Amino acid sequence: MDKEKGIVSRDKDFSEWYTQIVQKAELADLRYNVKGTIVFQPWAVLSMEKMFHYLEESLQKKGHMPYWFPTLIPEKNLKKESSHLGGFVPEVFWVTSHGKNEPIEEKLALRPTSETGFYHMFSYWIRSYKDLPFKTYQRANVFRYETKATRPFLRSREFHWIETHCAHESEEKAMLQVKEDMQTTKEVLHDIFGLPFIFFERPSWDKFPGALRTFAADVLNPDGKVVQQPSTHLLKQEFAKAFDVKFKDKEGNNKYTFLTCYGPAVSRIFASVIIVHGDDKGLKFPWEIAPIQVVIVPIDNNDEKIRKTAKSLKEQIEKFASVKIDSSEKRPGEKFNYWEMKGVPIRIDIGAKDLKNKKLTLFRRDLDKKIIVSQAKVLNEIKKIAKETTENLVKNADKLFNNKIKDAKSLSEIKKIINEGGIARIPFCSVEKQGEKCAGIIEKEINTQVRGTRFDEKQKVSGKCAVCGTKANYIVYVARAY
């Protein structure tokens, strides 16, 4: 452990690095006394609120309308679609009583996800093809009684997400929605949050409970494990039938809608922001989602001229960015380390010597570089760095990610790639029942999962399945999942 900065090296011990950064940057407190839950602290909430903003803005532009549904879902709603029920019931928290142990009218679930709430209402709201597509979303907290070990932001018994629910006229139109969801993920998670990912169609044995087709974006940790970020699903029509979500088409015939849903989990995406951009000094934030974008450090709190400059600079900056003056009693060196650890994109140091020369020292966290600029040009310089910060973070992350994907043609080659922290791309026999056996072998031998096929680009297939040696019909990606 590096005594000076107090964080273990990310590449030496990723898991411990993550634990330390969550604590030291005050992102979450794990001492709340309900198992599997955490308190989200201001430095995380400020960033996640901005993440919600960009996601919601993108969804609203595409015609999704915001709702707030009740947290409680009656057991009878969950029972309507059997595969969905089977998938979620083990994870449900049940509300069964109120007051002094008086029983409630019926068992109520804390929503693990809200299909069975939304579609119950869709049956009231949708009447005609003119109502379609019917595009909704809600910002919500959801609950899952996880039995796996929880980790802050990555897996908790309560988490914060957006869920979209849409109804469409045809399967074809529903698939356009799925593609739009992928586009939203690219525009927001990649271009603004700086997270590289691949959208996979999950194999048949790894679909969302109740889905006909499931697509999910995998993001890569530096330890080689992938984290599933937003997934989007084309649901089986059984769902529309179970909740009676139908419409009259142009000819006046009653038809069932095709339902899709998409679930970007902001608190989990925040974990990837920490992990993908962070380094041994601490956090790095893309400009748009930094809790604070600029921090001003007066080198001497008692110097009148420095204090005045700090104040006037703050007033000018806060017109276009969030900014704070750190006039605490810490030594300047301590402040430098602290704000680098916190991941603030730009730090401005104001010292007496610089001021004499009408200069200021800027530290940019994207490049970990100090630059000296004239006072007159500082605002323009900040605006320039603001633009470059996210670009640089995206570029770096993309490069790292792309270098991790390698081709393999056999179990031993897969094993080598995985052990080096990579994602293996392999020829594979099937994504249906027969493939499940080969996937099982990979799982058993290398503790690694078949994540699915690419959906965004068609891939040429030739040769034999890397596991069973029969004719390959797919290119699949194999990775160790968090």
Query: What radius of gyration do the chain's Cα atoms show?
Result: 25
**Cα-Cα-Cα-Cα dihedral sign, residues 45, 50, 51, 57:** positive
Q: Which residues of 375-391 are buried (b: 16+ CB within 10 A; e: fewer)?
A: eeebbebbeebbebbbe
Question: In the bound complex, what is the minimum distance in angstroms from residue 151's beta carbon to a second copy?
Answer: 16
List residues binding a second copy (CB under 8 A).
Answer: 29, 31-35, 37-42, 45-46, 48-49, 65-74, 76-77, 89-101, 104-105, 108, 110, 117, 120-121, 124-125, 141, 143, 145, 158, 160
Question: In the bound complex, what is the minimum distance in angstroms from residue 107's beta carbon to a second copy?
Answer: 9
> Is residue 464 within a helix (H) or strand (E), and if so which, with residue range?
none
Q: What is the DSSP string of 166-191?
A: EEESSHHHHHHHHHHHHHHHIIIIIT
Chain centroid offset of residue 204 CA: 24
| Nearest C-alpha neighbor of 435 from the set 391, 465, 411 | 465
* Closer residue to a second copy, CB minimum distance, 48 or 479: 48
Strands 405-407 and 423-428: parallel
* Closer residue to a second copy, CB minimum distance, 42 or 469: 42
For residue 200, what are the contacts with CB-CB under 8 A and spacing of at least 6?
215, 216, 217, 218, 451, 452, 453, 454, 455, 477
* Closer residue to a second copy, CB minimum distance, 250 or 358: 250
Cross-strand bridge partners of residue 350: 298
Strands 225-235 and 258-262: antiparallel
* Closer residue to a second copy, CB minimum distance, 162 or 393: 162
* Closer residue to a second copy, CB minimum distance, 53 or 471: 53
> Please, are residues 223 and 14 in contact by the beta-carbon 8 Å criterion?
yes
* Closer residue to a second copy, CB minimum distance, 98 or 437: 98
* Closer residue to a second copy, CB minimum distance, 82 or 380: 82
Question: In the bound complex, what is the minimum distance in angstroms from residue 396's beta carbon to a second copy?
Answer: 29
For residue 449, what are the contacts with CB-CB under 8 A and spacing of at least 6?
206, 439, 442, 443, 478, 479, 480, 481
* Closer residue to a second copy, CB minimum distance, 130 or 358: 130
- Preceding amide of 230 cis, omega within 30: no
Whole-number Å distance between alpha carbons of 5 and 280? 9
279 residue type, one letter? D
Backbone angles phi, psi at 390, to 5 degrees: -65, -45
* Closer residue to a second copy, CB minimum distance, 121 or 299: 121
* Closer residue to a second copy, CB minimum distance, 91 or 223: 91
For residue 233, what are the contacts with CB-CB under 8 A and spacing of at least 6?
178, 207, 208, 210, 211, 212, 213, 214, 215, 260, 261, 262
> Please, are residues 454 and 175 in contact by the beta-carbon 8 Å criterion?
no
| Nearest C-alpha neighbor of 131 from the set 246, 253, 238, 243 | 246
* Closer residue to a second copy, CB minimum distance, 96 or 434: 96
